[in-house]
Amino acid sequence: MIVFVGETNSYSLSIKVQDLNKPNGDGYGNASFYSLAEGMNKLKIKNKSSVQKGTATKNGTSVSMSGWKNVVAYLDNPVTSSTKVYAVAYNGDKTEVSF
């Protein structure tokens, strides 16, 4: 996975990755943390679960996604009627989000 980070103003940043689709549990205690630095961060995700689609709605300049699992979504601002959203899996595969 690739994560881009802008100016951090000397703050430490990390990303938490959880597998919430664990049989007989919620996966809460099974998270991985990855430190982030300014610029491009290439992460090797330990949990290699496949994408599970959820729902998405677009209302004016707002996008809401619910129920998606094992993905990262990135949006440029501002959101317009022609904005496309992709859910990105651990291996870089993209799934276009339908509204």
**Taking residues 51-78, what's their average pLDDT?**
78
Average pLDDT for the chain? 79
Residue 83 pairs with which residues in a beta bridge? none
- Tens of pLDDT, residues 13-60: 888 877 666 666 666 667 788 899 999 988 887 767 778 888 888 887
The pLDDT score that the predictor gives to residue 37 is 92
Confidence of residue 74 (pLDDT cuts 50, 70, 90): low
- Of 30, 46, 62, the domain-final residue: 46
Looking at the fold, whether 18 and 1 belong to one and the same domain comes out as yes
Query: Residue 36 is part of which domain span?
Result: 1-46
Residue 24 sits in the same domain as residue 58: no
Between the alpha carbon of residue 30 and those of residues 19, 33, 51, 52, 72, the distances in Å are 7, 10, 18, 18, 18
Q: How many domains does the chain have?
A: 2
Predicted local distance difference test score (pLDDT) of residue 67: 84
Asked if residue 31 and residue 10 are part of one domain, the reply reads: yes
Please tell me the pTM assigned to this model: 0.50
DSSP structural state of residue 67:
S
Q: Is the pLDDT of residue 61 over 80?
A: no
pLDDT band per the 50, 70, 90 thresholds, residue 9: confident
